[in-house]
């Protein structure tokens, strides 16, 4: 039994409407489509925690038989320019407060928050080492909040065009080992890994103990099946190492949202097996 679960993303941030999310804008439509296709979970990319209504999300999850897989925090960067590695302490505190509110919300549903774009980057008079030290300081504080609520924090390595801090699972594992908080896990986004890793499956094998979530995307950042990433060895590496989290589609709505979701669940069933086992 592998208990790997399927999920797809919905983005509620108009400024990210061209971003790699399966559904955009309409929460009820996304929940229904994802539920109808038999996914196990849904991942939300909201403008902020305040924009989400607990009762509405709770009802949508129940009505569509879905679990909340994770909640993204990248809108803190897109909308407010927040960064967890900012050189200014007060700016970092604002970034931490923004992420903490998402941790509070997500944890109500047993879900983790994702730190991807919110890791920031070096520059503005800061070396990479200084920015990484600031990022780790912020992550330690967030892990304390998350651990109180029984959920992990997911740190996502991003490709070199988005950050110069954490690009690979190896970079992420080093951060996990230095932060030394068991609640810090890595998000393996197969799109970023296709750019940064020499061998995706091997990197997953090496760093499996740290992986808490996967963004399930093909080389083209379209649904798995619309690109050329060799998925079989990747899923085998996850299974072999007892991965029990979500494969969550964070992909462009190509050729449209429903087709991307349909292709994703077909690929999930093909590689993982019916029912996620
Ligand atoms: C977020 O999950 C991600 O993968 C980033 O590319 C968004 O900037
Ligand atoms: Mn991602």
Asked if the model's pLDDT at residue 274 lies above 90, the reply is: no
Residue 192 CA from chain centroid, whole number: 12
Determine what percent of the chain is predicted with pLDDT higher than 90.
96
Strands of the chain, DSSP E: 5-11, 23-24, 41-45, 67-72, 113-115, 153-155, 184-189, 211-215, 246-249
What is the model's pLDDT at position 2?
57
What is the model's pLDDT at position 142?
98
Is the distance from CB of 142 to CB of 149 less than 8 angstroms? Answer: no
Distance 119 CA to ligand 2 centre (A): 13
* Residue 198, burial from CB neighbour count under 10 angstroms (0-12, 13-18, 19+): exposed
Is the beta carbon of 119 within 6 A of some atom in ligand 1? Answer: no
Asked if the model's pLDDT at residue 136 lies above 50, the reply is: yes
β-bridge partners, 67: 41
Mean pLDDT of the chain: 96
What is the model's pLDDT at position 124?
86
Asked if the model's pLDDT at residue 18 lies above 80, the reply is: yes
Rounded to whole angstroms, the Cα distance separating 151 from 216 reads 21
Asked if the model's pLDDT at residue 260 lies above 80, the reply is: yes
What is the model's pLDDT at position 276?
46
Nearest CA to ligand 1 atom 8: 117
What is the model's pLDDT at position 64?
98
Dihedral sign for Cα atoms in the order 180, 181, 182, 185: negative
Question: Tens digit of pLDDT for each residue in 183-214?
Answer: 999 999 999 999 999 999 999 999 999 999 99
156: region left, alpha or beta (phi > 0 left; psi from -120 to 50 alpha): beta
Number of CB atoms found within 10 A of residue 259's CB: 15
Nearest CA to ligand 1 atom 7: 117
Distance 83 CA to ligand 2 centre (A): 17
9-28: average pLDDT: 97
Distance 158 CA to ligand 1 centre (A): 7
30-55: average pLDDT: 98
Is the beta carbon of 212 within 6 A of some atom in ligand 1? Answer: no
Q: Report whether the peptide linkage leading into residue 267 is cis, meaning its omega lies within 30 degrees of zero.
A: no
Asked if the model's pLDDT at residue 277 lies above 50, the reply is: no
53-75: average pLDDT: 98
Could you tell me the pTM of the whole model? 0.97
Distance 235 CA to ligand 2 centre (A): 17
Rounded to whole angstroms, the Cα distance separating 221 from 252 reads 6
């Amino acid at each position: 039994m592998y208990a790997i679960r399927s999920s797809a993303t919905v983005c509620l941030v108009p400024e990210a409407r061209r971003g790699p999310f399966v559904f955009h804008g309409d929460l009820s439509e996304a929940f229904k489509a994802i539920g109808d296709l038999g996914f196990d979970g849904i991942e939300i990319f909201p403008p902020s925690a305040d924009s989400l209504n607990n009762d509405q999300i709770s009802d949508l999850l129940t009505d569509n038989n879905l679990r909340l897989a994770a909640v993204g925090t990248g809108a803190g960067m897109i909308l407010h320019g927040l960064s967890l590695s900012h050189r200014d302490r007060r700016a970092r505190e604002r970034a931490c407060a923004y992420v903490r509110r998402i941790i509070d919300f997500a944890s109500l549903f047993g879900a983790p928050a994702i730190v991807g774009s919110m890791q920031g980057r070096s520059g503005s008079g800061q070396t990479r080492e200084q920015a990484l030290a600031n990022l780790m300081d912020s992550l330690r504080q967030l892990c304390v909040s998350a651990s109180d609520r029984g959920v992990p924090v997911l740190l996502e390595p991003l490709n070199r065009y988005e950050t110069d801090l954490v690009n690979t699972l190896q970079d992420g594992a080093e951060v996990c080992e230095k932060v030394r908080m068991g609640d810090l896990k890595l998000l393996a986004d197969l799109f970023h890994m296709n750019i940064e890793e020499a061998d995706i499956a091997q990197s997953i094998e090496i760093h499996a103990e740290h992986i808490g979530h996967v963004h399930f995307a093909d080389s083209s950042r379209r649904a798995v099946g619309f690109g050329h990433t060799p998925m079989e060895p990747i899923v085998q590496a996850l299974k072999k190492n007892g991965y029990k989290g979500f494969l969550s589609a964070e992909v462009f709505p190509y050729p449209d949202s429903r087709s991307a979701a349909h292709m994703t669940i077909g690929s999930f069933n093909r590689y993982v097996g019916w029912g996620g086992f």
